[in-house]
Amino acid sequence: MTQEQRHASFSDLCNLARGPDFLTNVECFEKSDFYKKFTSNLYHHETSIDKQNISYRVLNHWDEEGLLECIRDSEKGWRKFNLIEGFWVYTIQILRKMGLSFESLKKVKHCIFHLTTPRKASISLEYYLACTLALSKPVYLVVTPDGTAELLEYSEYTNALALQALNHHIVLSLNEILKRMNLSQANKSIFPLEAELTPELYQVFESLKEDDFEHATIRKKEGKIDRVEKTSTKNRDAKLQELLEENANQDVVIKQRDGRLIFATQTSIEKV
């Protein structure tokens, strides 16, 4: 099997893990006014590389190996990195420490910057960076030993694991890489949004996407979201024993008339 065939198989499984709405979400992102502002910052906002951790000699070596793409100052010859290029430099550093060869790193680069979906190169990378920087969502770069790579949100990654789409692999947190670039605190000024989606709110929204329920109640404790209670009504055909065994954290209220079950309300409780 060729590298392209292996990536196609891995990519197909990851697309299945992303779900049917992924391409629609990416296309809406690409057409939004926010996309233009966001990508302008990605490609025009310069970032510095920590020379104590990544020396000029190392950068020169990576450049000679064909791993870097950045412009140089015409007078002094210094490299200038935009945010996407800076992200890639720190990604190289981490993967090299994990033992990936230069050939595997070239494949990772090809997967991230040239084999992204949908049609426009790098649009998926831009989309996932927006999820991380603007929405504070957990996003991962998943890399196989041969250099095949995909970007996945947390829920997509867990779906891929459930589908057994991933065997031996390396997982890098985009959130942690961007912290190294000191973007975790600067993102509010560089990438402004009207509202910020915290990890707690993201977990709540993910919970609300699941299951079949009629209404939900969000409980707070000491000013923070503590749990989500989702309530559904079961009709007289519901089997009470199965209902009680369905969830270890739930409240069940039973209504009876003349000794017969009329309906039951089931409230599942999820800690946040």
Kindly state the average pLDDT of the residues 134-139.
Answer: 86
Kindly state the average pLDDT of the residues 171-188.
Answer: 77
The residue with greater pLDDT, 60 or 236, is 60
pLDDT for position 163? 85
How far is 108 from 124, CA to CA, in rounded Å? 14
How far is 175 from 140, CA to CA, in rounded Å? 8
Kindly state the average pLDDT of the residues 219-246.
Answer: 77
pLDDT for position 119? 41
The residue with greater pLDDT, 240 or 112, is 112
Q: How confident is the model at residue 186 (pLDDT cuts 50, 70, 90)?
A: very low
pLDDT for position 95? 94
Kindly state the average pLDDT of the residues 120-127.
Answer: 69
For the chain, percent of residues with pLDDT exceeding 90 = 19
Amino acid at 14: C
Q: Is the pLDDT of residue 8 over 80?
A: no
Q: Are 131 and 156 in contact (CB under 8 A)?
A: no
Q: How many CA atoms lie within 13 A of 89 on its CB side?
A: 27
What is the pTM (predicted TM-score) of this model? 0.64
Q: Measured over all CA atoms, what is the biggest interatomic distance in the chain, rounded to whole angstroms?
A: 92
Residues facing residue 237 across a β-bridge: none
pLDDT for position 198? 64
Q: Give the chain's mean pLDDT.
A: 79
